[in-house]
Amino acid sequence: MELTDHAYRIQGLALTELAQKYGTPLYVYDGEKIVQQVETLKQAFSGVKLKIKYATKALSNVNILKLMKRAGTGVDAVSIEEVMLCLHVGFEPTEIMYTPNCVSFTEIQEAVGLGVMINIDNIPMLEHFGTTYGGSVPICIRLNPHILAGGNAKISVGHIDSKFGISILQLKHVHKVVEAYGLHVVGLHVHTGSDILDAEVFLKGAEILFEAAAEFSDLNFLDFGGGFKVAYKPGDISTDMKDVGFKVSQAFQDFCASYGKELEIWFEPGKFLVSECGLLLVKANVIKPTPATTFVGVDSGLNHLIRPMMYDAYHGVVNLSRLTGPERVYTIVGYICETDTIAADRKLREVQEGDLLAIKNAGAYGFSMSSNYNSRLRPAEVMLLGGMDYLIRERETFEDILRHQVDVAF
């Protein structure tokens, strides 16, 4: 987003004009930024056999998935529905990693039938898989490395008390199951969480993963998950991809040399690829001063962007309607009948009723975690690509709220 010719613009398109054209609230995605992030990751790991598996859950619009495919990524899917979405847009089954958690074995069987890579993260399911398939279907095993990554425990998933992955302390048990059923293990996976700043955390995970991998003789890839940090606040730091790429690639190459085979290195970025591409455009409904705080109530809320309330996530806010003038401190809140603070104590150009605000870093886990809470409608989505704007999801209507409800006569 750049301030040029008296307007905030992306790819030359004025955001205020997009809001007039499509209405608010409105999700806007910069497709060029997504492609740029993919290229950044490719360049950082140019010395190894890299496979990028975009974390579909971050933003699952089919047009975003099509753009990822065009940019050369594969996908990571965490549900059978995400698998079907990825197949729908043209990904080959071999390009899809299916990493479920606490699903029924029936869903895993469905994924096997679709031909995607199965990533198993608990021992009972591993045994069930062995009983059913033996070594006829190649699999990946997700390990929990017991590493607390990032500064927010709510988005760290590799610690000892996490529900994700098989504890590294249970590796002996894993080997017994693999040997008992002749399982064909072709990959190992770890994912420690989000907002990882430097190479050291990845290297800690790598050390554990390499030690485990040395005991599996037929691997094709090692999957390091995702978790690269992006900037949220002014002056915020993000993952140094050049440093991470160099150090992790070097460690990976050393391992491959000792393993006696050049493996593929996989990553599953979600937030890194789409967070910064997204804005949520909202309109100021009311300016409400109180003895303690001046609230700006907008035409959105936790039903459209739950991250601030769920994860204490910071999202920058800009008043697109006021380019000059005094600044004041506001707390931006939603129109939901809950406490749904979007941004607290933010300094903005003086906000007036009807002003258009842009909420930044809304590309990841924004629309994909949205809901119809309070029977509110979900917003439209627009993608910008090549200086053109494309409507990629229509705004919901009241008929959509009723669509699957059965009006019973009683």
Residues 171 and 251 in one domain: yes
Residues 243 and 350 in one domain: no
Residues 260 and 287 in one domain: no
Asked, for residue 409, whether it belongs to a domain, the answer is no
Residue 294, both tokens: 């001046």
pLDDT of residue 195: 66
DSSP 221-273: EEE----B----STT-----HHHHHHHHHHHHHHHHHHHTS--EEEE--SHHH
Question: For residue range 140-170, what is the model confidence (pLDDT) as tens digits?
Answer: 999 998 876 545 444 344 456 678 899 999 9
Asked, for residue 211, whether it belongs to a domain, the answer is yes
Residues 18 and 50 in one domain: no
**Domain boundary at 221, 250, 270, which?**
270
CATH of the domain at 143: 3.20.20.10
Crossing angle of helices 123-133/105-114, nearest 10°? Answer: 50
Q: Which of 86, 140, 277, 337 is catalytic?
A: 337
| Residues of the chain predicted below pLDDT 70 | 148-161, 193-195, 197-198
Count structural domains, the chain.
2
Residues 12 and 43 in one domain: no
* Cβ proximity of 276 and 304 under 8 Å: no
Asked, for residue 177, whether it belongs to a domain, the answer is yes
Residues 77 and 176 in one domain: yes
Asked, for residue 311, whether it belongs to a domain, the answer is yes
Residues 140 and 175 in one domain: yes
Residues 323 and 236 in one domain: no
Tell me how far apart the alpha carbons of residues 395 and 79 are, in angstroms, rounded to a whole number. Answer: 25
CATH of the domain at 375: 2.40.37.10
Residues 282 and 391 in one domain: yes
Q: Is 337 a catalytic residue?
A: yes
pLDDT of residue 291: 96
370: domain range?
Answer: 2-23+278-362+364-402
pLDDT of residue 203: 85
pLDDT of residue 149: 52
pLDDT of residue 271: 95
